[in-house]
């Protein structure tokens, strides 16, 4: 049985070089159990401690206990860490030691990582005021914590990386820490402006491969720190993050047979493979090769979900083998990481599609409770908030939060914006966002609908023709069901626009037109 150190303030579990991030609520539950170790803690006591003054069902407590067990590798039937005492509550029985940052013992990074390892070094402070060193140390710590939540990379502990002498050759620093990449940073203060620079260093060559500079007025430090942490962490992780890009460049030109499991995953995420069905199937082959070697790589299972869904959309959801592969990938990814926001997003959509709104809403709450560094997570949450919850304020906040972390949003990021802007009634923003990327079905759908609602019928007709050119069998009703658009308010807005568009389309059956008119009137 592993001996875990639990840092509640950082919401992390640490065992050797293994660092697992958990949600704030899960950390609060574990913290309360740890404070009463070996004693039975009733559900009602946990609810009062973690959700004071709120009406919360016991089911939500069980969900967070499930999340903690998943993080710890525990089994409810044969518990080693958290025991369920039927009818009474829960008891912490395992070797979990509450620890503070200051008490942590440095450790060496593990060797032979199957994922890229990154070390966040202690920042340089070109100002004598001690507050700035403390501020930057806090920013670097928060970035380290955020990076531990990205499953496709590994992170050297802050205690090891901060203890290193950064005056030596950075290649030697990387070798000592066992890291492929180093994140170095500095701050210089000029009058009322703070210049903060982050640079990503290739540990093999010592060369800089990415940099980020911000010049911000000195004001409230907490929001400034949060902004920097969000932008830097998001830039580094994810399928289009700088670490992934560096790994992709490293294997460019290599034969597929020479790639290891992780490198097959990297090649599967090549944007050039996402352009058509043949490329997507090639991507799926790389993912199969990856998972045959590394079956526990969560990111590969998530990407399998994405690719299968794209291919299924192209086939009109008729390919049963693809749908079965998609379902298995969702199940496997959720088992490995029940806190991955994108998987929660997929499961919420699946639940809503099947009519199980209770489960869908529960999954949305869990997704909103995560603190992922990846902007994609916020974009996924924005979709759930509008398609299922019809919570425009929360949806817009999540969208803006996600886009604020991206310096140059890619086309697929803007498709989330186009869809949300349509449902918010901001049709000009929806059209502009849909134009930012290539002509994907989602971009074309909400561009067409927004143009129709803006009474730009000639443009809507041209967009509809383009949409039909991409998919001659496209049907607005099937699209709404497969997405799904589940909330009545969202459906009414959607079909109000579809009713206008279908009058431009001579191929639309009268029964469908009548149904659109009926929904629009509700």
Longest dimension (CA), the chain: 75
Same-domain pairing of 118 and 239: yes
- Residue with the two structure tokens 């030109």: 253
pLDDT band at 40 (very low <50, low <70, confident <90, very high): very high
SS (H, E, C) 256-267: HHHCCHHHHHHH
Give the number of other CB atoms < 10 A from CB of residue 97: 13
464's CB contacts (< 8 A; 6+ apart) are: 448, 501, 504, 505
On whether the CB atoms of residues 431 and 419 are closer than 8 A, the answer is: no
- Mean pLDDT score of the chain: 84
Average pLDDT value for residue range 339-346 = 86
Q: Which of 101, 130, 164 is the last residue of a domain?
A: 101
Backbone angles phi, psi at 513, to 5 degrees: -60, -40
Of the given ranges (72-76, 178-182, 271-275, 507-511), which has the lowest mean pLDDT?
A: 507-511
> Residue 7 in 3-state DSSP?
strand
More confident residue, 503 or 366: 366
Same-domain pairing of 117 and 171: yes
Q: Is the pLDDT of residue 446 over 50?
A: yes
Instruction: Name the domain count of the chain.
Output: 2
pLDDT digits (tens, 9 = 90+) for 126-165: 876 788 889 999 999 999 988 887 778 889 888 888 888 7
Q: Is the pLDDT of residue 354 over 70?
A: yes
pLDDT digits (tens, 9 = 90+) for 150-160: 778 889 888 88
CA distance 246 to 339: 27
pLDDT digits (tens, 9 = 90+) for 228-242: 888 898 889 887 789
Q: Is the pLDDT of residue 257 over 60?
A: yes
Residue 45 falls within a domain, yes or no?
yes
Residue 53 falls within a domain, yes or no?
yes
What is the reported pLDDT for 110?
39
CA distance 166 to 122: 8
Same-domain pairing of 111 and 85: no
What is the reported pLDDT for 255?
86
Same-domain pairing of 115 and 91: no
Same-domain pairing of 149 and 24: no
Q: Is the pLDDT of residue 93 over 70?
A: yes
Same-domain pairing of 88 and 117: no
Q: Which of 58, 77, 101 is the last residue of a domain?
A: 101
Of the given ranges (57-71, 207-221, 308-322), which has the lowest mean pLDDT?
A: 308-322
Give the Å distances, CA to CA, from 20 to 67, 90, 229, 239.
12, 22, 18, 20
Average pLDDT value for residue range 418-441 = 88
Q: Which of 42, 69, 101 is the last residue of a domain?
A: 101
Q: Is the pLDDT of residue 256 over 60?
A: yes
What is the reported pLDDT for 230?
83
> Residue 323 in 3-state DSSP?
helix
Q: Is the pLDDT of residue 429 over 50?
A: yes
Structural domain including 131 reads: 106-243
What is the reported pLDDT for 211?
92
């Amino acid at each position: 049985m592993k001996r875990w150190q639990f840092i509640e303030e950082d919401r992390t579990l640490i065992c050797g070089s293994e660092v697992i991030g958990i949600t704030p609520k899960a950390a609060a539950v574990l913290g309360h159990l740890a404070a009463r170790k070996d004693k039975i803690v009733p559900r009602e006591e946990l609810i009062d401690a973690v959700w004071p003054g709120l009406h919360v069902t016991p089911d939500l407590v069980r969900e967070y206990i499930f999340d903690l067990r998943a993080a710890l590798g525990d089994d409810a039937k044969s518990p080693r860490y958290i025991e369920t005492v039927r009818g009474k509550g829960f008891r912490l029985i395992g070797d979990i030691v509450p620890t503070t940052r200051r008490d942590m013992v440095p450790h060496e990074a593990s060797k032979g990582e199957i994922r890229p390892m990154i070390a966040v070094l202690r920042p340089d402070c070109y100002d004598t005021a001690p507050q700035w060193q403390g501020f930057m140390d806090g920013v670097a710590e928060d970035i380290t914590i955020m990076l531990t939540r990205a499953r496709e990379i590994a992170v050297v502990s802050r205690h090891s990386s901060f203890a290193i002498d950064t005056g030596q050759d950075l290649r030697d620093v990387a070798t000592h820490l066992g890291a492929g990449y180093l994140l170095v940073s500095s701050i210089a203060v000029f009058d009322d402006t703070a210049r903060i620079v982050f640079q990503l260093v290739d540990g093999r060559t010592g060369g800089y491969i990415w940099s980020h500079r911000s010049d911000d007025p000195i004001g409230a430090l907490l929001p400034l720190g949060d902004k920097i942490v969000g932008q830097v962490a998001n830039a580094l992780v994810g399928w289009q993050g700088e670490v992934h890009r560096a790994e992709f460049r490293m294997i460019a030109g290599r034969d597929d047979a020479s790639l290891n499991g992780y490198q097959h995953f990297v090649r599967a995420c090549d944007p050039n493979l996402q352009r058509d069905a043949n490329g997507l199937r090639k991507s799926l082959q790389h993912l199969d090769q990856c998972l045959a070697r590394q079956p526990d790589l969560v990111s590969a299972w998530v990407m399998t979900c994405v690719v299968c869904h794209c291919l299924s959309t192209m086939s009109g959801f008729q390919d049963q083998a693809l749908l079965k592969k998609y379902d298995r990938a969702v199940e496997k990814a959720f088992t490995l990481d029940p806190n991955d926001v994108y998987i929660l997003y997929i499961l919420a959509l699946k639940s809503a599609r099947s009519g199980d709104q209770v489960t869908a809403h529960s999954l949305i709450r869990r997704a909103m409770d995560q603190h992922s560094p990846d902007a994609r997570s916020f974009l996924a949450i924005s979709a759930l908030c509008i398609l299922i919850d019809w919570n425009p304020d929360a949806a817009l906040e999540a969208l803006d939060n996600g886009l604020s972390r991206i310096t140059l949003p890619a086309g697929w990021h803007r498709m989330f914006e186009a869809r949300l802007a349509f449902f918010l009634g901001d049709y000009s923003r929806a059209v502009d966002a849909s134009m930012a990327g290539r002509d994907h079905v989602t971009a074309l759908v909400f561009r067409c609908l927004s143009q129709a609602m803006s009474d730009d019928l000639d443009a809507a007709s041209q967009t509809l023709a383009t949409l039909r050119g991409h998919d001659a069998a496209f049907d607005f009703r099937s699209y709404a069901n497969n997405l799904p658009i589940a909330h009545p308010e969202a459906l009414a807005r959607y079909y109000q626009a579809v009713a206008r568009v279908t009058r431009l389309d001579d191929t639309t059956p009268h029964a469908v037109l009548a149904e659109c008119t009926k929904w629009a009137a509700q």
